[in-house]
Amino acid sequence: MPMDDSIPWRTGRISLADPALNLRRFSVFASMSDDELASLGECDILEVPAEGELYSPENQLSGYCVLLDGEVVADKDEADGSRTRIAVAKAGECFGETRLLEGRPVPIRVYALVPSRMLRIDEESFWRMMACCPAVRRVILADAARRQYAKQVGALHREKLISLGTLAAGLMHELHNPGSAARRASSQLRENITRLQDLSLRFCDQPVSQDQLTCMRDLQQEAIGHTCCTAMSSVEQMDAEEIMIEWLERAGVKNATRIAPQLVSMGITPGELECTRQSFSDGRLSDALNWLESLVSSFALVDTIEQSVARMSELFMAVKKFAYEDRCSLRRVDVHDNIQTTLTILGHKLRQRSIQIVKHFDATDPGIETGGIALSQVWTNLLDNAIDASPDEGVIEVRTWNEPDAFCVGIVDHGSGIPEEIRAHIFEPFFTTKPVGKGTGLGLEIAHRVVTQNFHGTLTFDSHPGHTEFLVRLPRATA
Do 195 and 290 touch, CB atoms closer than 8 A?
A: yes
Angle at 222 between CA 218 and CA 223, to 5 degrees: 120
> What is the per-residue DSSP string for 357-379?
EEEEE--S--EEEE----HHHHH
Which of 407-422 are b and which e, b meaning 16 or more Cβ less than 10 Å from the residue's Cβ? bbbbbbbbbebbeeee
Do 109 and 73 touch, CB atoms closer than 8 A?
A: no
**Residue 475: DSSP 8-state:** E
pLDDT of residue 50: 92
**Size of the chain, expressed as the number of residues it contains:** 479
pLDDT of residue 231: 56
What are the residues whose beta carbons fall under 8 Å from the beta carbon of 234, sequence distance 6 or more?
none
Amino acid at 330: L
Can you say whether residue 316 is alpha, beta or left, with left for phi > 0 and alpha for psi between -120 and 50 degrees? alpha
SS3 456: coil
Tell me: the pLDDT tens digits for 414-472? 999 999 988 988 888 767 766 555 555 667 887 888 899 888 899 999 999 999 999 99
Helices (DSSP H) in 68-110: which residue ranges? 97-102
Domains of the chain, CATH where assigned: 10-132 (2.60.120.10), 169-312 (no CATH), 325-475 (3.30.565.10)
Q: For the chain, which residues score pLDDT lower than 50?
A: 1-4, 227-228
Angle at 462 between CA 459 and CA 464, to 5 degrees: 150
What are the residues whose beta carbons fall under 8 Å from the beta carbon of 16, sequence distance 6 or more?
23, 37, 38, 40, 41, 42, 43, 119, 121, 125
SS3 458: strand
Rounded to 5 degrees, φ, ψ at 133 are -135, 100
Q: Which contacts of 225-231 are long-range, i.e. CB under 8 A and separated by 24 or more positions?
A: 226/266, 226/267, 226/268, 229/265, 229/266, 229/267, 230/267
pLDDT of residue 70: 93
SS3 339: helix
